[in-house]
Chain A
Amino acid sequence: MDLKFLEFEQPIAELEAKIDELRFVGDDPEINIGEEVARLKEKSKALTKSIFSKLSSWQIAQIARHPMRPYTADYLQLIAPDFQELHGDRMYADDPAIIGGLGRIDGRVIMFIGHQKGRDTKERVRRNYGMPKPEGYRKAQRLMRLAEKFSLPIVTFIDTPGAYPGVGAEERGQSEAIAFSLYLMAGLRTPIVNVVIGEGGSGGALAIGVGDRLLMLQYSVYSVISPEGCASILWKSAEKAEEAADAMRITAQSLNEFGLVDAVLPEPLGAAHRDPDATAEIIRNAVIKHLSDLDRLDIEQLLEQRQRRISLFGQFKDG
């Protein structure tokens, strides 16, 4: 089994393997198999299209967590190559699970803040699988205030299984760190655009996810608890994660249908990791568009609109 492919993608993996084999043979000038390669490529594309047209919520969650999926730093490299990382919360530590700093898009300076996962085992451990601790949220708060002070817009990239449930995190006030981030973002005097690029996991995601616009990549997810966590509480079995993923409507598309998302950003065929450059370009254009929309508001209008937007969250009967 090819690890670059998820279980439901295996038919595509087999075709791609065949194409690779033919290409190898293709080095032989005596045999012309270009036509065959082109035919198989077409077939692979059609197959990918068909598989990706009917993904379940659970399959989308797996894509959102795909080990090859681009992370915050990958996108930053592509959309803001002059990015300078700023470290530390000035109180306790520098949390590698959240990165932040300054970069330019189209000459415009932006404060970027995002969760960061690791690619290989060592890096995964260092980044704590993208699960921040209080110092991560406090670093984010510090950078947000810095952005406010110098009138720089903020763009956040959300990609975390959730805040880290550890002893030290509790001792240092995980609850307060998240709560205060929400409080701060509600009134921050600068535009904020939030982009879910992978996993939007509960309070740990929301803690850098309050702002003026919420954008989601097509195969990203966002939920109050992980499907596994929900399943083990409500179904009493983590194996029911697939059902929980469906029940919670965690995909960008369903959340968009509920009016909770401002835009779903389409991903290249076969999802972001098949073409990180194209995905970065899509994110870049969306960020530029939404920031320039927000530019039309003066700061008081912006804050009023944000306040109204947040105050309307929820569905209930008012009898």
Chain B
Amino acid sequence: MSWFEKLMPSRIKTENRTRSVPQGVWIKCPHCDAQLYRTELERNLYVCPKCDHHMRIGARQRLEYFLDEGDIEEIGAGLEPLDPLKFKDSKRYRDRLIQAQKKTGEKDALVAASGSLFGQPIVACAFEFAFMGGSMGSVVGERFQRAAKRCVETRAPLICFSASGGARMQEALFSLLQMAKTAAAIAELGKHRIPFISVLTDPTTGGVSASLAMLGDVNVAEPKALIGFAGPRVIEQTVRQTLPEGFQRSEFLLDHGAIDMIVDRRALREQIGDLLAKLAQRPQPAA
């Protein structure tokens, strides 16, 4: 807590639902250490005005930045995780869930909603990385599937912002199978010729990277996001060599042909809006 916040009476402190970004009036850029004024940073969509570092943001914030203001309807909001395995490591999975729910205000790690982009109806979903590392369990898979189903019903394109460490270990094989489930949902979209744009944000690894995130008709990444199948530490342990600078970053993936483009967060609405317009053979949307 900053000194300024400490001086404020508690009742006027604002409680933000998403807390991926540390609270306080001043925020230090984790990349260039610049002290940044929160209001200015918010206006800049949490991209550092000094070094263009893209900070991690929460799922709701993400959707709020991306969708037009107005009618936003959440999809699968009533879904809640279960603990079919009664999983317990040093902590019980049930307790971890309660803790993550308290911390983020979310029931699980994916938020899906229908809304519009430049007046065109779309469905968008975003991973909440602060919820158990954005890990994919049964609820994430089901929400993604319902979002895709809504797209088929309304012929709206699907956009997904991923930020995830991968499959959720505490749901074991159930979570592995969500990879198949989300991929099958995208195959359905393909059958109906409905566009799916995957936006990979920092970080997207493991089972999410190896399923829905790499299956966009167009794959877009934010600058310098960590994207890969195996985590860098696992690779280092396996091959026993230091990894090259920039390995598994967006620019590396662009060089190796895995993604179509890198887009600055502040340009995502326009760039994706125009891509969707082109795929539907419509004129460029007026910004």
Interface of A toward B, CB cutoff 8 Å? 163-167, 169-176, 178-180, 182-183, 185-187, 202-203, 206-207, 209-210, 222-225, 230, 233-236, 243-244, 247-250, 255, 258, 260, 307, 310-311, 313-319
Contacts and interface: CB of A to CB of B under 8 A. Distances in A.
Contacts, number: 196
A196 B212 CA distance: 24
Interface of B: 78-82, 84-85, 87-90, 137-139, 141-142, 145, 167-169, 171-181, 183-188, 190-191, 206-207, 209-215, 227-230, 234-235, 238-239, 241, 243-244, 247-248, 256-258
A183 B186 contact: yes
Contacts of A234: 89-90, 169
A175 B213 contact: yes
Given A178-B210, A210-B184, A224-B207, 14 more contacts: A167-B239, A173-B256, A175-B209, A203-B207, A210-B183, A236-B90, A247-B87, A247-B172, A249-B85, A310-B181, A313-B181, A315-B82, A315-B174, A316-B82
A203 B138 contact: no
B256 A172 contact: yes
A315 B85 CA distance: 10
Nearest to A224: B176
A175 B229 contact: yes
Nearest to A231: B89
B247 A187 contact: no
Nearest to A209: B180
B187 A317 contact: no
B180 A210 contact: yes
A207 B214 CA distance: 14
B85 A248 contact: yes
Contact of A316 (B81, B206, B247): B81
B180 A173 contact: no
Given A175-B258, A234-B89, A255-B173, A314 B214 contact: no
A317 B138 CA distance: 10
Given A173-B257, A179-B214, A317 B79 contact: yes
Contact of B169 (A165, A224, A318): A224
A165 B173 contact: no
B143 to A, nearest CB: 9
